[in-house]
């Protein structure tokens, strides 16, 4: 059951009325329900019970607030990171280095050094160039980098073009037919211990077939490489599990675990998964306030205090997010179609078209659902609006896990050079 539901004609989150949070914290703010996050990670772990336990590395980029990372660490998860900044966040949140994996196509020397010093579980290497760079840096530090090669399996994930990563023209990973060669190189390099195979084919994948196609290829390659003498012991199968934003099917943990067990039967291997979205998307809403109900050009616009600056997914991917009034509409209340729009000076700042909503008034509250993943992490200061606070709710209590950042704080570090009449100094 969703933690967000109506009780006594008001929308509540894990037992806390959203209107109370708005009154205390202000709007817009993200509200995350801890119960949903716990439920999701537990479902994955539970689905694999009875066999060797896979390592679930929470993909930090989906929602990288320290409190969220800490919650998953508490639930036994590690962290999947794509930058030095994300490794630093994972460490700050209390994730053990031995449970951190690190992907990303643009690892810099500085980031590589930091990851080696930290002693992370595994580098997921995306190119020969990167492999050579890691080898050189590791050897120079007298260290050995544990490496999985990220292979591009050339499968279509059947998801939105902008979130597909496993087709051959995508920028991610090492081409399938070069894998043997690059592993052979990795085995010869000082400073590198090649121990795994990695793939991640995209995001918001709602059917099992693309996973099956990619995983099958990965297992075949894994076996072939082992036969060829590469001592592989870990298979990192990425994330990408879809969630219902509207009426899409969910990738069910049990069915997924069955598939993985079937494909990896008899293979002596450590499994790693990197779920991001599926653990947090449905745990979050954006609590927003109506500024105006405007009529123009024969349309009705519900103008909110939050838009693409707080949730860019509709503008960027044409994504659907439901908009719920915080005060429950009466059964006989008239619902009228309206376009829900944000405050940003861009025509693409539309959260939803033709949504059936009651005739709300300025000051009324709405909740934009499915905003726990790729919401706050993709927020911007565009238009210098106050950035949204983040709130975590659990069993009737709530805490601000990131306060609003007012515009004065956003430009506090900017400097006017002395030739423009500024002091030029810090």
Ligand X SMILES: *Cc1c(COP(=O)(O)O)cnc(C)c1O
Nearest to 19 by CA among 424, 378, 382, 364: 364
Beta carbons of 40 and 386 less than 8 angstroms apart: no
409 Cβ contact partners less than 8 Å away, ≥ 6 residues apart: none
Identify the H or E element spanning 16.
strand 16-17
Binding ligand X (rule: CB under 6 A), the pick from 146, 275, 325, 386 is: 275
Residue in the shown chain whose Cβ atom is closest to ligand X: 276
Which residue, 277 or 321, has its beta carbon nearer to ligand X?
Answer: 277
Q: Contacting ligand X (CB under 6 A), which of 111, 130, 274, 349?
A: 274
Tell whether 317 is in a known binding site. Answer: yes
215 is in an annotated binding site: no
Pair 83, 100: CB distance under 8 Å: no
Residue 271 tokens, joined: 């499994």
Clarify whether 345 is annotated catalytic.
Answer: yes
The verdict on whether residue 240 carries a ligand-binding annotation is yes
CA 413 – CA 148 distance, rounded (Å): 39
DSSP 329: P
Our CB check for ligand X shows the closer of 79 and 137 to be: 79
Query: Applying CB under 6 A, which of residues 107, 200, 234, 355 lies at the interface with ligand X?
Result: 200
Q: What tokens does 268 get?
A: 């002596």
CB of 281 to ligand X, least distance (A): 8
Q: Could you tell me the maximum CA-CA distance found in the chain, to the nearest angstrom?
A: 73
List, in sequence order, every beta strand (DSSP E) within 61-191: 78-81, 100-102, 122-125, 145-152, 174-175
Rounded to the nearest whole angstrom, what is the least distance from the CB of residue 366 to ligand X in the complex? 25
Measured from the CB atom, the residue of 277 and 327 that comes closer to ligand X is 277
Pair 4, 285: CB distance under 8 Å: yes
DSSP state letters, 276-323: -HHHHGGGEEEEEEEEEEEEETTEEEEEES-STTT--HHHHH-----E
Give which of 12, 64, 77, 1 is closest to 395, Cα–Cα.
12
Q: Interaction with ligand X in 38-97: which residues (CB under 6 A)?
A: 59, 61-62, 80, 82
Please give the residues from 103 up to 122 whose contact with ligand X meets the rule CB under 6 A. 103
Q: Would you say 113 is a known binding-site residue?
A: no
Q: Please, what is the minimum distance in Å from the beta carbon of residue 385 to ligand X?
A: 26
Does 238 bind ligand X (CB under 6 A)? Our answer is yes
Q: Which stretch binds ligand X (CB under 6 A): 7-15, 269-277, 364-372, 379-387?
A: 269-277
Report CA-CA distances (Å) from 378 to 312, 335, 387: 7, 32, 12
Q: Compute the least distance from the CB of residue 59 to ligand X, in Å.
A: 3
Under 8 Å between Cβ of 308 and 345: no
Give me the least distance between CB of 80 and ligand X, in Å please. 5
- For ligand X, which is the closer residue by CB, 199 or 341? 199
User: Min. distance of Cβ 210 from ligand X in angstroms?
Assistant: 12
> Closer to ligand X at the Cβ: 54 or 240?
240
- Tell whether residue 239 is a contact of ligand X (CB under 6 A): yes
Name residue 80's beta-bridge partners: 59, 101
- Told to check if 276 binds ligand X by CB under 6 A, we report yes
Which residue among the candidates 345, 361, 417, 426 is catalytic per the annotation? 345
Least spacing, CB of residue 387 vs ligand X, in Å: 22
Question: According to the binding rule CB under 6 A, does residue 277 interact with ligand X?
Answer: yes
Task: Report in angstroms the alpha-carbon separations of 186 from 121, 128, 225, 342.
Answer: 17, 9, 12, 50
Residue whose CB is less far from ligand X, 103 or 112:
103
Q: Total number of residues binding ligand X (CB under 6 A)?
A: 17
Question: How far is 76 from 96, CA to CA, in rounded Å?
Answer: 11
Nearer to ligand X, 123 or 183 (CB): 123
Distance in angstroms (rounded) separating the CA atoms of residues 168 and 156:
9
146, 166 contact by CB (below 8 A)? no
Q: Determine contact, residues 340/355, Cβ cutoff 8 Å.
A: yes
Residue range at the interface with ligand X (CB under 6 A); choices 23-31, 86-94, 270-278, 292-300: 270-278
**Interacting span for ligand X (CB under 6 A) from 134-142, 207-215, 274-282, 391-399:** 274-282
**Does 337 appear as a known binding residue?**
no
Stretch that binds ligand X, among 15-23, 271-279, 288-296, 334-342 (CB under 6 A): 271-279
Residues annotated in a binding site for substrate: 277, 313, 317, 346, 374
Residues annotated in a binding site: 240, 274-277, 313, 317, 346, 374
Binding region for ligand X (CB under 6 A): 59, 61-62, 80, 82, 103, 200, 203, 238-241, 274-278
| Residues with catalytic function | 345
């Amino acid at each position: 059951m969703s933690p967000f539901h109506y009780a006594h004609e008001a929308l509540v989150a894990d037992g806390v009325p959203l209107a109370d949070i708005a009154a205390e914290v202000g709007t817009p703010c993200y509200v995350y329900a801890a119960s949903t996050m716990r439920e999701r990670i537990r479902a994955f772990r539970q689905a694999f019970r009875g066999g060797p336990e896979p390592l679930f590395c929470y993909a930090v980029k989906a929602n990288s607030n320290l409190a969220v990372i800490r919650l998953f660490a508490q639930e036994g998860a590690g962290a999947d990171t794509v930058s030095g900044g994300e490794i630093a966040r994972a460490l700050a949140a209390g994730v053990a280095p031995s449970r951190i994996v690190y992907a990303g196509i643009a690892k810099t020397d500085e980031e590589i050094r930091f990851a080696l010093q930290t002693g992370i579980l595994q580098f997921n290497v995306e190119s020969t160039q990167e492999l050579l760079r890691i080898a050189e840096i590791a050897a120079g530090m007298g260290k050995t980098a544990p490496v999985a090669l990220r292979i591009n399996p050339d499968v279509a994930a059947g998801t939105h073009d902008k979130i597909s990563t496993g087709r051959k023209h995508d920028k991610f990973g090492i081409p399938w037919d070069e894998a043997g060669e690059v592993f052979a190189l990795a085995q010869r390099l000082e400073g590198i211990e090649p121990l795994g195979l990695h793939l991640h084919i995209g995001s918001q994948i709602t059917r099992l077939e693309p996973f099956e196609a990619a995983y099958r290829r990965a297992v075949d390659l894994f076996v072939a490489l082992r036969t060829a003498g590469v001592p592989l012991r870990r298979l990192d199968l990425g994330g990408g599990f879809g969630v219902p934003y509207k009426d899409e099917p969910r990738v069910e943990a049990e069915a997924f675990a069955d598939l993985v067990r079937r494909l990896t039967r008899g293979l002596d291997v450590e499994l790693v998964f990197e779920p991001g979205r599926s653990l947090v998307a449905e745990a979050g809403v954006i609590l927003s306030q109506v500024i105006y109900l405007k009529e123009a050009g024969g349309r009705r616009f519900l103008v909110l205090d939050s838009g693409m600056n707080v949730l860019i997914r509709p503008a960027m991917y044409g994504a659907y997010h439901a908009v719920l009034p915080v005060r429950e509409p009466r059964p006989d209340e008239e619902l009228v179609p309206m376009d829900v729009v944000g405050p940003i000076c861009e025509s693409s700042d539309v959260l939803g078209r033709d949504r059936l909503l009651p005739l709300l008034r300025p000051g009324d509250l709405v909740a934009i659902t499915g905003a726990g993943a790729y919401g706050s992490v993709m927020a911007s200061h565009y238009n210098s609006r106050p950035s949204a606070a983040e709130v975590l709710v659990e069993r009737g209590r709530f805490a601000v896990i990131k306060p609003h950042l007012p515009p004065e704080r956003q430009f506090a570090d900017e400097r006017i050079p002395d030739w423009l009449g500024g002091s030029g100094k810090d």
